[in-house]
Structure 1
Amino acid sequence: MAANHPGASSQPLLHQKGAEIQRFGTVRDFPIGLSREAREYSCERLNQILADTQILYSLYKKHHWLMRGPTFFQLHELLDKHAREQLALIDKIAERIQTLGGVAVGDPRQVAELTVIPRPPDGVEEVPAMLSRLLEAHETILVAAHDAAARTQEKGDDGTSDLLVSDVIRTGEMQVWFLGEHLVDTPIIRV
């Protein structure tokens, strides 16, 4: 039987405030065999890719909801699948930043400040424009990921390089292939 604790209550302690215990852009010391410089560099590059990937995820969800036309169902489902895959990448990238002792960008307002992905119109674009917008966002992330993978490898951060190559780049390239094939102008049937 559990002992009673004087003053214990099931009431949540609401409206708590606390001091910021680690600033964004800093790294804590972790015994993971990487220099502070390598970890700081990796966190900076990963946070940029993380911000852009969060925007790509949001674009996928927006276009998934706003899809139109005769291929509505196929593209609606494909974009939702890609969004789920991007969401998994977001978590992996953020966890790598934390593993390096950094602070992962998570506030959507800060993401909007950091991203280099152009903002889409608030309304609905034509389907080819939506798909092209996704392809351009992918290319931005892929260019950054290729460069970051090579540079983090040079600094001895094999874990970050592996994440970028095995997860970010491979997932992005596959998604680009699937999207790009929807922009090929071929007849469905020949007469």
Structure 2
Amino acid sequence: MEPTIGIESDNLTSVSHALNSILADEFILYTKTRGAHWNVEGLNFHSMHLYFESQYQALQDMIDEIAERIRVLGHYAVATLRQYIELTHLTEETVQPNSAEGFIKSLLNDHDTIIIHLRENINYFNDKLHDAGTADFITGLMEKHEKMAWMLRAHLK
């Protein structure tokens, strides 16, 4: 049964499709952050291993929140690797070495890409699709990514 929450059916579909694309971005970033956690090497291995773990745990929570937002809107969250690859704005490849600095640069680039994409969609959700709730929701996601990016960036100083 479709929710009757004051958003037109076509707009619910558009919002859900856009959220599935954001979900794909988050899943790819989560996977790359897990890879950094598993594969980081160097003198600061232990601290970076733990740091990347805290980052992927935060991303895991964000992924769950996005999927649940899609369900709240009466649609289904994508849940296959193929769908994630088709919908993401990111690349799944990491071209940096397995050093903390290499992983940080790669992950920081992805966070920045997600931040820009989220920022570009706030007004789209609010003004075009008349979904202030999702506009607010992705504003919160953007702020979480901004903080995560700041922390990554601080490692490079």
* TM-score, normalized by the shorter chain, greater than 0.5: yes
Distance 1:173 1:62 in 2: 21
Q: Answer whether contact 1:66 1:124 (CA < 8 A) is retained.
A: no
Q: Name the amino acid aligned to 2:5.
A: I
Structure 2 equivalent of residue 45 of structure 1: 18
- Say whether the 8 Å CA contact 1:149–1:162 is kept in structure 2: yes
Distance 1:96 1:126 in 2: 36
> Residues of 2 paired with 1:66 and 1:124: CA distance?
10
Instruction: Determine the structure 1 residue equivalent to 2:31.
Output: 58
| 1:1-191 map, 5 Å | 29-121=2-94, 125-154=98-127, 155-166=129-140, 168-184=141-157
The structure with more helix, counted as a fraction of residues: 2
Q: TM-score, normalised by structure 1?
A: 0.76
Larger radius of gyration: 1
- C-alpha RMSD over aligned residues: 1.7
| Structure 1, unpaired ranges of 5+ | 1-27, 185-191
The TM-score with structure 2 as length reference comes to 0.91
Sequence identity (%): 29
Query: Which residue identity lines up with residue 54 of structure 1 in the other structure?
Result: F
Number of positions where the alignment pairs a residue of Structure 1 with one of Structure 2: 156
Deviation at 1:123, TM superposition (A): 9.3
Paired with 1:106 and 1:148, the residues of 2 have a C-alpha distance of: 22
Deviates more, 1:147-156 or 1:122-131: 122-131
Which one-letter code corresponds to 1:110 in the other structure? Answer: Q
